[in-house]
Every structure is written in structure tokens, then in C-alpha cells.
Amino acid sequence: MNAAAILILALVTLQRLSELVIARRNTARLLAEGGREVGTGHYPFIVALHASWLGGLWLLARDVPPALPWLGLYLLLQIGRAWVLWTLGGRWTARIVVVPGERLVAAGPFRLYPHPNYAVVVGEIAVLPLVFGLWGFALLFSVLNALLLLVRVSAEAGALTRVSRGS
């Protein structure tokens, strides 16, 4: 086993688990405030994709020394992730929850791109495997993620459009 690879994978795993705790807390609060979850049908597939991606990395990358340029790019993506989470604050969740009467976030990275979190996730799913030279793995999970995001972004955009119109 490569110590650097294990450390990177452990940190990413801890990050994802802590984000699940935050997402659950925020989801519960948003629902208690009258929020409504939409797009629930595809959510288990997103969970399965991300769990498989991380599990696959643990199986395939734990013995591989990391490539520092790709790791640097992955760390830049983490700055983007932090910017999104900080901007959304208590509104960030892994699910699609809309609260009637809430305005769409137009600050931070949302000024530049309508779905910055998904852009970061697209980058992460591609780049972290490349840190370990797993080009085929990166391609496979990027394609699967793209297919899920077609469904996810459509569901989210529809829900957010209805909320912004007040319907």
C-alpha cells in the first residue's frame, strides 16, 4: 500500500461522510421549514454511483503513488467545493429540496454558473482517478455521472423554476 494514496483516499472518504452528515441536517431543517423534496427517484442512483466510485478507488488506487499535478488540480476543485458550500450555507444538501418563498442564490459561484456544485463534482469524479493514473476508471465514472446529471439538473432546474415563479 502507498501511504500517500491511503491518506488521500481517507481524507476524501472523511470529507464525503462529513458532508453526508451536514446534508442530512440541512435537509431535515429545510423540510421542517416547509421545504419539499423533488427528484427522489434518481437519488439512490447518485448514492450508488458515488459509493461505487469511492469504493473502486479504494480497491484500485491504494497501491499507486499519486501524481502531484493531478492532485494539485483536485485540491483546486476542493476550493470550488468549499466556495459552493460556504455560499449555500444551511441551504446546501445532497438532495433537491425547495422551500416556497425562498429566492434563488445568486451570490458566490452562482453568479458565474447556474450549477457550480455539479461542475465541481464532474471535475472530482474525473480528476481523482487521474491522480492515480486510472484513465479508464475516470472515463467510465464520468460518463455514468454525466447520464445521472442529465436527469438531476433537469429535475432541479424544473423545481427551481417553479419556486421562482411562485407556483
What domains, with CATH codes, occur in the chain? 3-165 (1.20.120)
Dist. CA 93–CA 27, nearest whole Å? 6
Nearest CA among 12, 102, 103, 121 for reference residue 57: 12
Could you give the percent of the chain with pLDDT greater than 90?
Answer: 89
Instruction: Write down the pTM of the prediction.
Output: 0.92
In the structure, what pLDDT confidence band is assigned to residue 157 with cuts at 50, 70 and 90? confident
Confidence at residue 162, expressed as pLDDT on a 0 to 100 scale: 64
Task: Tell me the mean pLDDT in the region 95-115.
Answer: 92
The amino acid that residue 105 corresponds to is: V
Inter-residue contact 146 to 122 (CB < 8 Å): yes
Q: What average pLDDT does the structure give for the chain?
A: 94
Q: Is the pLDDT of residue 112 over 70?
A: yes
